[in-house]
Chain A
Amino acid sequence: MADTLQTLDYAVLQQCMHCGMCLPTCPTYDATKHERNSPRGRIALMRAIADGDLAVSQAFADEMSYCLGCLACQTACPAGVNYAELFETARSTIECAHAQPGAARSFWRWLTLRLIFTRPRVLRAAGLGLRVYQRTGLQTFARRTRLTRLLPPAVRRVEPQAPPIAGAFSNRLIAAHETPTGEARYRVALLTGCIQDLVFSDVNRDTADVLLANGCAVDTPPVQPCCGSLHAHNGELDLARGLARRMIDLLPPDRYDAIISNAGGCGSHLRHYGSLLADDPVYRDRARLWDTKLRDVQEWLASIRPRAPKAAPFDEPVTLTYHESCHLVHGQKISRQPRELLRLLPGVSFVELPESSWCCGSAGVYAITQPDQAEALMRRKTANIGSTGAAVVATANPGCHLQIVRGLREAGGSAIVLHPMSLLARAYRNERG
């Protein structure tokens, strides 16, 4: 995979024949009706840069920041344009050209992308620090005394949105090797993620339980690097390559029937290590094998004929709806399987969510970089959820999960949000009475 648009294989850009079929599926075009804010408009800008007709300007950087990277266009595109690759190459081009100057921006990028999200132990330490801040009354104190005003503006905006850190991380909840009670039919590795590990370690536990209940022996290394999705998305392709190599070393793909991700955003990146490391003679072949083994947990379960739980996840019958994470439905084309799994749940009636595959506005750090658009999308999502009357919203990505919880809270909605694995795990647990 090339680092810049200028060195990218031109055929990737040419694949877009500008028919416009992507326009109605693009949330930003929908908001402005400006071609520049549409997939084919952005590709036109990228092509102009590759052709040398346009500079890598601040305006281009702004545009690529405005793009959610939701990949709805990639699902809609009849011509098979690889927008994910174009998007990441464009953002990398911007970083290479230093089109977005500013010492503060550089510092925060260095702190997050280079320091924290490349070292799992540092990340957990940061998580611990945040947990202490949130749980000792320090947060309340800082807010009441307005100490938060001393924070730089970017952080001040994020501070109230920081998710509640879990009491225990995945390594405390899941043993490195766990085996099912009966015969182990498959051997799988479980990826615990970054945000998932810090905030939703219970979802990781639930995922392991569901895998065990379906005859999988589960390996979960206690310390795992970030998959590099965050880095690739933000124009740091070299860091992303380094993390991919570490991940492959940690979990050699030939040892497993499947390598399992339970976060839509991570999975979408994780299954493309092959193209990311295509120019690496040492890792190339293992990366390709990795891609064939990488499975979203729902995709994997659906393919091994999942066992229907005999008990209901809740005491009372509930109505449930499903929000599709963009990188699950558009990035990984997994749409049917989560619904199939949710329909297995006793005592649950499933209703379709209108615009289920329309982005909720979470989109990685989008809520921080583009708060207005993120807010508008969140409101649209919660209104759609409200229209279903569902008491439970299932979704399989931590970013969406947090965004929808926040949206429902602000809208005064009472629905709860759960990962499909948590719903299944509850049901399996209830079998024991």
Chain B
Amino acid sequence: MSSALSLAPLLAGIVGESNVLTAAEDLVPYGFDGTAALRQRPAAVVFPTTTAQVAECVRLAIQASVPIVTRGSGTGLSGGSVPAAESLVLCLARMNTILDLDLENLTLRAQAGVVTQTIDQTVAQHGLLYPPDPGSMRISTIGGNVAENSGGLRGLKYGVTRDYVMAIETVLADGRIARFGSACVKDVAGYSLKDLFIGSEGTLGVITEVLLKLVPRPAARQTMLALYDDIEAAASTVSAIIAARIIPCTLEFLDHMTALCVEDYAHVGLPTDCAAVLLMETDGHPAAVADEAAKMAAIAREHGAREVRTARDEAEALGLAAARRNAFSALARRRPTTILEDVTVPRNKLATMVTFIAETAEAHHLEVGTFGHMGDGNLHPTFLTDERDADAMARVHHALDAIVTRTLELGGTITGEHGVGLAKKPWLRRQMGDDSFEVMRQVKHALDPNGLLNPGKMFD
């Protein structure tokens, strides 16, 4: 394996000299993504602007046996875009053109580097919605979202990124350009390889372009906060809402610590004296929204909410959702290092899991803030610690292991929306079982026989 550095002059021939970085000062900032405590400096960074340039860069790197790590805005939370040693980082941030907005078929075609929020803002002008809204949507790229199959706050009602990808264009490990899927709502031609690449974390190919499905923007929305003195009451409210055949677009949970940190940052009026806060949102036809909101408020009160508040206007509602999106980063106000988890359990196991997390943190003498998408069972226990404290980091690891073990016992998954990357790699085989795990490895080997696409991610 040679270094990407030796390729710099050839890469400059493809993308121009100013689009190849090799100086230490340029590379240090590419040594990490949004994940704590993972760092590795790459050997070079290249900024292609077209699919053809991506294909040329990939061919060049593969011929020289240089590992390739694709990156968008580097906001991932499982270390998926942390470079491999001596690797070439393929940064698609400059492939940021929206290629087509089809108002007859309600689709949008975009280059991989377009920022997620830009897509939603663009379609909003036409009364449309691109629903997946990961916490980092203000800066994350659509290519990164597709590669990680990102979720978000609206997952309960609208699903995740996968549900909105109709077609992709991807550069394969040998430099060929493949296109999977189509603009047709129904399409069963051949294997659904599009779905194989969604969530493949840059290990099977480089996604360069996507065709997205759009939906009509809901006419009305109502946002509420329910405040609780104990966490189980919040969890039982969520179960009762679902059991009452209501599918709100958002049912977000914040524990006391998270609410405290978020309020400290955003000043949106979150209470800082209760054990749990539920952020509930319903959207759709105005009459349906009014009806559902009233029912949800009543259910919350029946299940022990101390108080239910309704957002006065759109601005307050947006403020609350935006504040919640920053929950993870806001928790970093407390301690130098925040280790974020992404375990997900079936919804009826939520209360069990939330309690288990709190007990585990206490048993290991760790500070934890837990928040998450309660409506879809996706929790984000976040340990607040200091990476320079080896003893504390060892305790974090033991606590994580206990949480993962319990999650799997409850029929859950090690990651709901952040991906495996480096951070969850130790537990993938345990969740999959040997045979299923081997199938994944066979797929990887078939598409990337030299193991040069994002090596070391998902599995070794």
Contact = CB atoms under 8 A, between A and B. Distances in A.
Contacts of B328: 19, 78
Contact of B332 (A17, A40, A53, A57): A17
A79 B382 CA distance: 14
A59 interface: yes
Most buried by B among A10, A15, A20, A41: A20
A15 B261 CA distance: 14
Interface in A322-348: none
B244 interface: no
Contacts of B96: 33
B183 interface: no
B337 interface: yes
Interface string A402-413: 000000000000
Interface stretch (B23-31, B147-155, B363-371, B372-380): B23-31
A79 B136 CA distance: 14
A36 B332 contact: no
Most buried by B among A21, A35, A40, A48: A35
Size class of the contact patch on chain A: 20 to 34
Contact of B29 (A14, A24, A45, A77): A45
A78 B322 CA distance: 11
Contacts of A63: 25
Contacts of A18: 32-34, 74
Contacts of B216: none
A357 to B, nearest CB: 15
Nearest to B136: A20
A282 interface: no
B21 interface: yes
Given A34-B21, A63-B25, A80-B265, A21 B329 contact: yes
B34 A33 contact: no
Interface in A36-51: 36, 38, 40-42, 44-45, 48
A60 B386 CA distance: 27
B25 A36 contact: yes
B73 interface: yes
Interface in B9-43: 21, 23-26, 28-34, 36
A385 B387 CA distance: 47
Interface string B29-71: 1111110100000000001000000000000000000000000
A54 interface: yes
A79 B335 CA distance: 10
B330 A45 contact: no
A48 B139 contact: no
B94 interface: yes
A23 B23 contact: no
A44 B337 CA distance: 15
A10 B387 CA distance: 12
B332 A60 contact: no
Nearest to B77: A19
B422 to A, nearest CB: 15
Given A15-B332, A33-B93, A20 B74 contact: yes
B344 interface: no
Contact of A54 (B24, B36, B338): B24
A57 B94 contact: no
A33 B336 CA distance: 27
Interface string B226-266: 00000000000000000000000000000000000000111
A59 B25 contact: yes
Nearest to B72: A20
Contact of A24 (B25, B36, B138): B138
A11 interface: yes
Most buried by B among A10, A15, A34: A34
24 contacts: A10-B388, A11-B336, A14-B337, A15-B332, A15-B333, A17-B329, A20-B75, A23-B139, A24-B138, A24-B139, A35-B29, A35-B74, A36-B21, A36-B28, A41-B28, A44-B29, A45-B29, A54-B24, A57-B24, A60-B25, A78-B326, A78-B330, A78-B332, A80-B333
Interface string B341-356: 0000000000000000
A296 to B, nearest CB: 19
Nearest to B113: A33
Nearest to A47: B28
A41 B73 CA distance: 12
* Shortest Cβ-Cβ A-B pairs, 8 listed: A41-B29, A78-B329, A35-B29, A79-B332, A14-B336, A78-B326, A59-B25, A17-B332
Given A21-B136, A21-B138, A78-B326, A40 B29 contact: yes
A15 B336 contact: yes
A168 B300 CA distance: 67
Nearest to A11: B336
A322 B149 CA distance: 41
Contact of B73 (A20, A42, A45): A20
Given A14-B387, A34-B26, 17 more contacts: A11-B336, A14-B337, A19-B75, A19-B329, A19-B332, A21-B136, A24-B138, A40-B29, A44-B29, A44-B32, A48-B28, A54-B24, A59-B23, A59-B25, A79-B329, A79-B330, A80-B264
Nearest to A41: B29
Contacts of A78: 265-266, 326, 328-330, 332-333
B115 interface: yes
A17 B385 CA distance: 12
A60 B27 CA distance: 12
B25 A54 contact: yes
Nearest to A55: B24
